Structure 1
Amino acid sequence: MRTVLRIVDRVLIGLVGLALLVLGGWVLAVGLGATPPSWWLHDGRHDVLLSDAERTRWQGHGWWWPTVIAVLAALVLLAAWWLTAVLRRRRLTEVLVDTGDGEGALLRGRALEGVLEGEAAGLDGVAQARAQLTGRRTAPEVRVDLLLEPQVDPATALHHLTATSLTHARNSAGLAAMPAEVRMRGVKHRAERVS
């Protein structure tokens, strides 16, 4: 689902950017003296963007300005939401560890991810493991992707992961809970001809 959203996001950004680039290029070309096509909104270099008639057309109607302000406010809020969604960090950079003396220590998120990946990859039948911390630094969550060998039972691999790797990580960080999302895939081997 996340990859689909990422693809949709990139396609939308690309399309909006391309439309703005083409529109801006046409406006610039007409402003520099190029002859506009017959369907273009403005006739030439000295034409204004909005004429007096276009600007004052809806001025007497009571619904016009509240509608314009509401639409512009909705567009600003949508753009702000989109910007925060794009700029928000997906990966947790540090975890706050309770040291027991009223103080706390910061543990680098990449270090904890590396330990989780190493310990999970060492489990029987796990070909590869990847871990990613998300959430808040006081309440981290982890997403683990496991690549399993064909002979491994997924339930057994999940049990070993939760009983060892995730329990060690939770205990070493002094956390009461560390929710985890585990995704498992099987290794795909290419068929080889045996003679």
Structure 2
Amino acid sequence: GCEGMRLSVKELWPKRLVAWGYAVLVVDSFTTRNIQDTCQTTLPDRVFDAYGALNFLSKQNFVDIRRVALMGFSAGGTATLEGTKIEGNEQLMDHKFRAAVAYYPVCAASQGDATVPILILSGDRDNWSQAERCRQRLARLSDTGPPIELNIYKGTYHDFDAPEFKVGRRVLGHIEKYNPDAAEKSIRSVRLFLRKYLSN
């Protein structure tokens, strides 16, 4: 996200994914660039960070490079969508992702198809990453592109999967608040989605 690497992204999600049998590489686009916060400024080009990570993974003998998913949260989710859009930078890369998961991204309503199957998870009360823009994107999909699944959780705000926001807080006019029910449902959806698209 634009505030940097939160605890649930750095520790909780990797532990969960490893328990499911996946290898995990967490990419920090901020620390090496001495960036603290990009919520009110521009982000670095994180799409190239994602493909740099994929290139790194291609050199690891324990990784099946044909079965790697890209996953991001908030601004990282937006970068996930940017990295898998038709006619984006993906076409220039030697290695490709197999699937993508984007938690509460800002969807580009004018975009249509993607290069890989995508799971988007969003809250209907999230006014930072509005689910309606994702609905608009899905309305533009062709019948021939990879599927894009959109799960919208009622009564749910930004960062709904992050237990560190149990109390909830307001950031730049936006509410970030954990929702255990939505979190659990989304986690089950992610597990099924990855199993479906990363299995042999």
Structure of higher CA gyration radius: 1
* Bigger RCO of structures 1 and 2 (CA < 8 A, at least 6 apart): 2
- Structure that is richer in helix per residue: 1
TM range (shorter): under 0.3
TM-score, structure 2 as length reference: 0.25
